[in-house]
Amino acid sequence: MGSGRGGDGHSWAQMIRLVVTVALLSGCRATEYEYLNWKSDGYNGGRSYGKQPQCVDIPDDLRLCHNVGYNRMMLPNLLEHESMAEVKQQASSWVPLVHKNCHPDTQVFLCSLFAPVCLERPIYPCRWLCEAVRDSCTPIMEAFGFPWPEMLTCDKFPQSDVCIAMTSPNATEATKPTKPTGYSPICPPCDNEMKTDTILEHMCASEFAFKAKIKEVKLENMDRKVILQKRKKMLKEGNLKKKDTKKLVLYLKNGAGCPCQQLDNLGNQYLIMGRKVDKQYLLTGIHKWNKSSKEFKNAIKKLKTHKCPAFENVFK
């Protein structure tokens, strides 16, 4: 069935790809579908569900995918999440990455797995779509100390026509963004937009947070080494011990050449956030301490009570 041709000369694979593209771009609403246990000839990642799949509405509070372009999703999904509660919990960790705009198809790629469109067969994202999103977003994730997770290893996904594709796999080198190896042209922890959600997202990616001034900034390989003044007002201690705070040095990962206005002005007080990765303390967020900003004051007020997604359940 996978290689048969219709009467109009189009292969079944081409027709499925067209259906998937139309479903993603037109916002069509599938009401019924038949699910077939399936493994592609060239792909060993297909699975047979023990639980009968259903086509259900994408809930508004599934923030990752509620505006992805279609309204119904398959459950269990393609990451083996069997309940909507599990889907929401796992998907929430990826919302900040989509907000970073590291690749135009990040949301489509992730939602093809977390909230797959209802079709008669499960359609996975194309391998090169995964690779494009991975290559663009890994520097952002690494800036916060998170590696690209094993559950999204791109080799698991198909290379055939029967896959979800939004970016052309044949894009010329001239049209592709250029990034030196191991280097991010932006500084994700230095997002200068004073928005409550951005500050809280940085806090959720962090283990500790405090108010402090910066003593000195040095370059060290591809990183920026941030040396802090001794006096600090702790807001979130995490696993940071008191003795560690006295000579605390943070690293802006791959940040040697990216713009960070906060690190250029050492006279200000800052809300500084970080987390320990291996033996280093990474700078995961830095915002000017500005009590005249309603957004900033609102973020500080919510710091201790805000419920964060469980990153450790996803990025492993």
Q: What is the CATH number of the domain that holds 256?
A: 2.40.50.120
Q: Determine the Cα angle at 110 with ends 106 and 116, to 5°.
A: 135
Residues 79 and 22 placed together within one structural domain of the fold = yes
In a domain? residue 175: no
Helix or strand holding residue 211 (H, E)? strand 208-220
φ and ψ of 81, to 5 deg: -85, 120
φ and ψ of 250, to 5 deg: -110, 155
φ and ψ of 220, to 5 deg: -140, 105
φ and ψ of 136, to 5 deg: -80, -35
Residue 304 pLDDT: 75
Residue 21 pLDDT: 42
CATH of the domain at 99: 1.10.2000.10
**In angstroms, rounded to a whole number, what is the distance separating the alpha carbons of residues 306 and 201?**
10
Cβ atoms 274, 243 nearer than 8 A: no
Residue 113 pLDDT: 96
3-state secondary structure of 61: coil
In a domain? residue 254: yes
**pLDDT (mean) for 280-306:** 88
Please report which confidence band the pLDDT of residue 172 belongs to, taking 50, 70 and 90 as the band edges.
very low
**pLDDT (mean) for 42-60:** 67
Residues 96 and 142 placed together within one structural domain of the fold = yes
Which has the closest alpha carbon to 221: 263, 178, 257, 262?
Answer: 257
Residues 297 and 206 placed together within one structural domain of the fold = yes
In a domain? residue 297: yes
Highest-pLDDT range among 3-17, 28-42, 108-122: 108-122
**Distance of alpha carbon 150 from the chain centroid:** 14
Gyration radius of the chain over CA positions: 22
In a domain? residue 79: yes
φ and ψ of 130, to 5 deg: -60, -45
In the structure encoding, which two tokens stand for residue 120, read together?
């008669």
- Looking at the predicted structure, is the pLDDT value of residue 278 above 60? yes
Residue 176 pLDDT: 42
Please report which confidence band the pLDDT of residue 145 belongs to, taking 50, 70 and 90 as the band edges.
confident
The chain-wide mean pLDDT, for the chain, equals: 77
Residue 27 pLDDT: 39
In a domain? residue 5: no
Please report which confidence band the pLDDT of residue 19 belongs to, taking 50, 70 and 90 as the band edges.
very low
In a domain? residue 107: yes
Percent helix, strand, coil in the chain, to 5, is 30, 20, 50
In a domain? residue 179: no
Domain boundary (156, 178, 199) is at: 156
Entry pTM = 0.66
Which has the closest alpha carbon to 20: 81, 87, 78, 69?
Answer: 69
Residues 151 and 194 placed together within one structural domain of the fold = no
Q: How many domains does the chain have?
A: 2
The least confident of 114-118, 165-169, 223-227 is 165-169
**In angstroms, rounded to a whole number, what is the distance separating the alpha carbons of residues 111 and 240?**
35
Please give the full DSSP string across 27-42, using - where no structure is assigned. Answer: --------------TT
Domain boundary (132, 156, 180) is at: 156
Show Cβ contacts of residue 23 under 8 Å, excluding neighbours closer than 6 positions: 30, 69, 70, 117, 119
Please report which confidence band the pLDDT of residue 41 belongs to, taking 50, 70 and 90 as the band edges.
very low
**In angstroms, rounded to a whole number, what is the distance separating the alpha carbons of residues 254 and 186?**
9
Residues 152 and 208 placed together within one structural domain of the fold = no
- For the chain, the farthest-separated pair of C-alpha atoms sits apart, in whole angstroms, at 76
Residues 148 and 203 placed together within one structural domain of the fold = no
Between 36 and 231, the more confident residue is 231
Residues 113 and 238 placed together within one structural domain of the fold = no
Cβ atoms 17, 165 nearer than 8 A: yes
H-assigned helices in the chain: 12-26, 84-91, 95-99, 106-114, 127-143, 196-204, 242-246, 261-264, 294-302
**pLDDT (mean) for 176-198:** 63
Residue 193 pLDDT: 66
Residue 244 pLDDT: 78
Q: What residues make up the domain containing 292?
A: 188-313
The least confident of 75-89, 169-183, 188-202 is 169-183
In a domain? residue 292: yes
